[in-house]
Amino acid sequence: MNKNAFVSALAEQEGIEKKAAEKMINAVLTALTNTLTAGEKVQFVGFGSFEVRQRAEKKVRNPQTGETLIAPPTQIPVFKAGKALKDAVAK
């Protein structure tokens, strides 16, 4: 499901216009992004949590030249599903 399909499904489920549903989704995604960018964790009890983790530097290989390089450490967003979500999906 892409974003447009999700917006349509939310609008239909909640009985609102698609523009309002898209505005809500964009607001949630912006708030989530801003919170993670600030280094904070976002947790929805039962659904899951989002956080930023540090990935250590690692050796990588350029497939064209075979040269070994060092990829610098970087921060990545991580989602961990909550128990209620895991149970709902596993049925």
Q: What pLDDT, in 10s, does the model give residues 3-50?
A: 999 999 999 999 999 999 999 999 999 999 999 999 999 999 999 999
Are 29 and 56 within one domain? no
Are 79 and 55 within one domain? yes
Are 19 and 51 within one domain? no
Are 51 and 91 within one domain? yes
H helix and E strand count, the chain: 3, 5
Q: Contact, 41 vs 33, CB < 8 A?
A: no
> Residue 91 above 90 pLDDT?
no
Are 45 and 29 within one domain? no
| Parent domain of 58 | 41-91
Are 48 and 81 within one domain? yes
Task: Tell me the CA distances in angstroms from 60 to 65, 69, 81, one per residue in order.
Answer: 12, 5, 30
* pTM of full prediction above 0.85: no
Are 32 and 73 within one domain? no
Vertex 33, ends 44 and 81: CA angle to 5°? 35
**Domains in the chain: how many in total?**
2
Q: Tell me what the mean pLDDT of segment 67-87 comes to.
A: 95
Integer Cα distance of 67 and 46 in angstroms: 46
